[in-house]
Structure 1
Amino acid sequence: MKEASRELIMGMLMGVLISLMLALVAFICIKCRCRYLLLLEDNPRRASTIPIRTNGVDAVILSDSTVGQESPVVPHANCTSVWLDGTCKKNPASLLPGIPKYTYRDLQKATCEFTSVIGQGAFGPVFKATVSTGETVAVKVLDTNSKQGEQEFQTEVLLLGRLHHRNLVNLLGYCADKGQLMLVYMYMTNGSLASHLYCEEHDPLNWTLRVDIALDVARGLEYLHYGAVPPVVHRDIKPSNVLLDQSMRARVADFGLSREAIVNHQKSNVKGTFGYLDPEYISSKIFTKKSDVYSFGVLLLEMIAGRSPQQGLMDYVELAAMDVEGTAGWDEIVDPRLSGAYNAEELHNIGAVAHKCINPDSGPRPSMSFVVQALSQVVKARDGTRHREKTLLPVATAGEEAN
């Protein structure tokens, strides 16, 4: 009898012990699951560093149907609902209360029923609009059927909402209404740099303007790399993403691919435009600030030669770079539309900077701060020469009159 009682008690104790162990395992699993869900839902950095797309009127597009495992992306939730239904506790719009929000009707009226198309991209059409304040703006209507469009919308709003510089295109507002996602930008009167380099309807850019535009773009990138907190890598620098205002001052645009520069570099899917992609980024799948430096170097050479990477630009550059002295090669590839109207010393100095930027190894490439300093010196030397010429001109004229 005592033996049977002892066995019963032991069985009960074993049962209680097993139950406690199962309860502990279940508790740990539930705790981990809740932590995982909170990280997915509440980490704002994920929403602000989304890899988006590649596109451009003058570029071959890289397809990207997958996302690398280390790429910080929003999970497979409906991104549109975050903006449209207002049910998400962490609605990104609430993080940027200073950005004006427009209704669909506001922009419908401003664009004359969406008839004033001025451009078209992979994201959708761009319209010229006049808002209620009388200001002329550009409205980019994103394709809500595209997951990339929804992600781009969030990326651009979250990034441009905190980035402010005279050489970046300003975001003036957004619309998330009636199932539509739209971005409102400042209107850039003279369109893209690409249109001025390649469209016959525009007169060729003179040499002085090309240098000034290059310096504007360099300053915009320098701000992204060293002025923004945290720093930002643009990842899609090319002529179609450089816009010109009425004074032909340049601003960097299209931040759909942009990502925050992180200290612990992780691999991610290669995104960007063929011809402008850093070869080290392609091989390592790790992007850095030096990836933008490479793209800028290609852009700078493109402005010198008036020829895109798809038109064999880099082959011409290699031929020019074969000149050991670096004093004659760049003249061989200069844009024929300039008809020889350029400063040879400036050309060689800028060509040398561009060639450093496109070094296949990212280590020796200069920083954007170095590039800004080098281009600024070119402009200062030019302005100094003009000043001396203006100072000497009256003296020369007086001497002629005396004779």
Structure 2
Amino acid sequence: MIGFSFRIDSIDYILIICFLTLKSLSIILSLSTCAMQIYIRFNMYSKTYYESNIKNAELSIPLVGGPNSQQDNFEKDIQTWIIDLKDLKFEERISEGGYGIVFRAKYKGSAVAVKKMKSDNDNVEFENEVRTLIALRHPNIVLFMGAYLAEDHKIIMTELMSFSVDSVLHKKKRLDKSTVWHVALTLKQKISILSDICRAMSFMHTRDHPLCHRDLKPSNVLLDKNLSVAKICDFGTSKSISTATMTGNIGTFMYMSPEILHNLPYNESCDVYSFGIVMHEIFFEVRPYTTSDGSGAFTNELTNPYLLGSIVASGKRPDVPNVDHATEQERKYLDLMMRCWNQDGTLRPSFTQALDELDDMQ
């Protein structure tokens, strides 16, 4: 923290610059006279962080308790969930995401999953995920078991699941040198997994304090060893759905809705769009906007992934091969999928509606 003081026309000015994290710079201007004090706080963020998380500078009058007050409150809120690292034994690494690395571990003899934040400065994502996990208790949302918070590292502990939908879909082995592949999931399993996703997302969207996930994708859907139960995870980018319109790019590129890609106002229907892309990936067992041979190569229309924004804005979606010989069940599936990724968010079904339709397919 650096402070400067000066006087203009008998008024004392104090300019305090606080370097809170590598991501944010807080400038606090204090104007003081004998009669009153006014505190104004401005937060300035790096371009990347600004575009991903915050659209307008934060203004708070007064600034109570200093810049660490929110952190202090968070530590008090999670006190009952704090774990002792001596009881935690790390094992192999399971996966890695944008904000953290997930390990298999043992906690007091029980198998658990532990997410270690990559950066000590990822306070926003860490606090957001912990608060969300504490608030959300549902059979199709991964169970939060505890956290550890220190200056050198931050840890989130949850129940351990056996697979992710991403790992099941894309760790297939080629049967031969042709383009014949093992089918990772039966249609019945696919509909069951999607139904579980709908249950979790409907719960999030319709609770008293609704939440938008904003990063729904196959790697954030976990499965048990029998592939019979699906649970949503990774709530670091989730956000409260309020009357205030959400803006800003957040989530994973290939699953972003047109309104997010173009930095337009959006609401919970952005999750439904992502669900539509997930439905395509689960049904055809290839990544979005890639060729059907499973090579991972982008389709001809998407020679450069950074062109995706304009392509999606024009109405382009992942390829749907000829379905002339599709069953009635498959036709209903694909019809729901395409309504979920409708260009107009107001025309997308809710997760409650999608669940009803999936139930009818079983």
Q: CA deviation at 1:272?
A: 1.4
Could you tell me which residue of structure 2 aligns to residue 143 of structure 1?
A: 118
Hey, what does 1:9 align to over in structure 2? Answer: none
For 2:167, the equivalent position in structure 1 comes to 195
CA shift for structure 1 position 97: 4.7
Separation (CA, whole Å) in 2 of partners of 1:131 and 1:271: 33
Larger relative contact order (C-alpha < 8 A, sep ≥ 6)? 1
Q: Give me the TM-score of the superposition, normalised by structure 2.
A: 0.72
Which of 125, 132, 135 is equivalent to 2:101?
125
Residue 85 of structure 2: which of 93, 101, 104 is its match?
Answer: 104
Question: Separation in 2 of the partners of 1:369 and 1:360?
Answer: 20
Change (3 A) 1:91 1:309: same
TM-aligned CA deviation for residue 284 of structure 1:
4.4
The TM-score with structure 1 as length reference comes to 0.65
Question: Where does residue 369 of structure 1 map in the other structure?
Answer: 352
* Structure ID, larger Rg: 1
For residues 52-108 of structure 1, what are the alpha-carbon distances to aligned partners after superposition, in whole Å with 9 as ceiling and x for unaligned? xxxxxxxxxxx934343338799xxxxxx96xxxx877431322455x21123332x
Indicate which of 66, 73, 77 corresponds to 1:91: 73
Is residue 66 of structure 1 aligned with residue 50 of structure 2?
yes
**What secondary structure is seen at the aligned counterpart in 2 of 1:119?**
strand
Separation in 1 of the partners of 2:203 and 2:245? 20
Letter aligned with residue 169 of structure 1:
V
Paired AA for residue 164 in structure 2: S
Aligned-residue offset at 1:230: 1.2
Match status 1:290 vs 2:273: no
- Give the Å deviation of 1:127: 1.5
List aligned pairs for 1:267-278, cutoff 5 A.
Answer: 267=247, 269-278=248-257
1:309 to 288, 292, 310: 288
C-alpha distance in structure 2 between counterparts of 1:345 and 1:305, whole Å: 17
2:16 aligned with 1:32: no
Extract structure 1 runs of 4+ deviating beyond 6 A: 71-74
Greater fraction helix? 1
For residues 215-247 of structure 1, the C-alpha deviation after alignment (integer angstroms, 9 at most, x for no partner) is 0011111011002x3110001111111100123
Q: Are 2:158 and 1:185 equivalent residues in the alignment?
A: yes
Q: Which amino acid aligns with 1:117?
A: R
Deviations along 1:123-149, one digit per CA (max 9) or x if unpaired, are 3432211211x321011111234x3x3
**Among candidates 129, 141, 151, match of residue 168 of structure 1:** 141
Q: 1:167 to 1:179 in 2, by over 3 A?
A: same
1:373-394: per-residue Cα shift (whole Å, max 9, x none)? 1112222xxxxxxxxxxxxxxx
Shift of 1:120: 2.4
Percent identity over the alignment? Answer: 26
The alignment partner of 1:194 has SS state of helix
Residues 220 and 251, structure 1, Cα contact 8 Å, conserved in 2:
yes
**Bigger strand share:** 2
How many residue pairs get matched?
Answer: 293
Task: Write the letter of the residue equivalent to 2:50.
Answer: T
User: C-alpha displacement at 1:117, in angstroms?
Assistant: 1.9
Instruction: Give secondary structure in 2 for the equivalent of 1:355.
Output: helix
RMSD of aligned residue pairs (Cα, Å): 3.3
Code of the residue aligned with 1:121 in structure 2: it is G
Q: Of 247, 254, 274, which residue of structure 1 is paired with 2:226?
A: 247
Give a deviation string over 1:239-260, Cα, whole Å, max 9, x none: 1111001232100111111111
Code of the residue aligned with 1:127 in structure 2: it is F
Letter in 2 for 1:180: H
Specify whether residues 346 and 66 from structure 1 end up closer, same or farther in structure 2 by C-alpha distance, changes over 3 A only: same
Deviation at 1:287, TM superposition (A): 2.7
